[in-house]
Amino acid sequence: MSENIKIVANNRKANFEYVLLERFEAGISLHGSEIKSIRAGQISIQEAYVDIADGREAWLLEAHVAPYEQAGKYFNHEPKRKRRLLLHKKEIRELWNNVRIKGMTVVPTKVILKNGRAKVEIALAKGKKAYDKRASIAKRDEARDKERAMRVR
């Protein structure tokens, strides 16, 4: 069975700010006009984060889904409302146990459309120190210089 996957939003800042340890794919509980906006690419997860409430539920907070223009005034949604993430109990428990450790957090990395359904890829992450960030910048610059040198030849 082939899967139709379309990346709608990407959180590139998460790769720079955190060391991503383990990734999970979660469904998102949405209202009617929200899925229309997401399919149009009107979602931002740059400031978003995931909250695990008492080890029972996972919530996506601060993700901005733009209002859908054709939905009208009364049937539209609130852009920054909290949205429930659909995960297995075992996955939520694993995330909860890791979040209680100092320095660990859960960040959304991508929003994808998989077979017509909106999913968010979340990652268990540990914050980088300033010197780690400088090292990643130096590594990226070095790779860019190598690529330029190969192109010139």
Domains in the chain: ranges and CATH: 5-127 (2.40.280.10)
Q: What is the pLDDT of residue 133?
A: 84
- 1 pLDDT more than 70: no
- Span 76-121, pLDDT tens digits: 888 888 999 999 999 999 999 998 887 789 999 999 999 989 999 9
Closest to 125 (Cα-Cα) out of 23, 30, 43:
23
Output the DSSP codes for 111-136.
EEEETTEEEEEEEEEEEPPHHHHHHH
Higher pLDDT, 1 or 149: 149
Does residue 26 or residue 71 have the better pLDDT? 26
Each residue of 48-78: pLDDT tens digit? 999 998 878 999 999 999 888 777 777 788 8
Q: What is the pLDDT of residue 141?
A: 92
- Please state whether beta strands 83-86 and 57-61 pair in parallel, antiparallel, or not at all (unpaired): antiparallel
- Entry pTM: 0.81
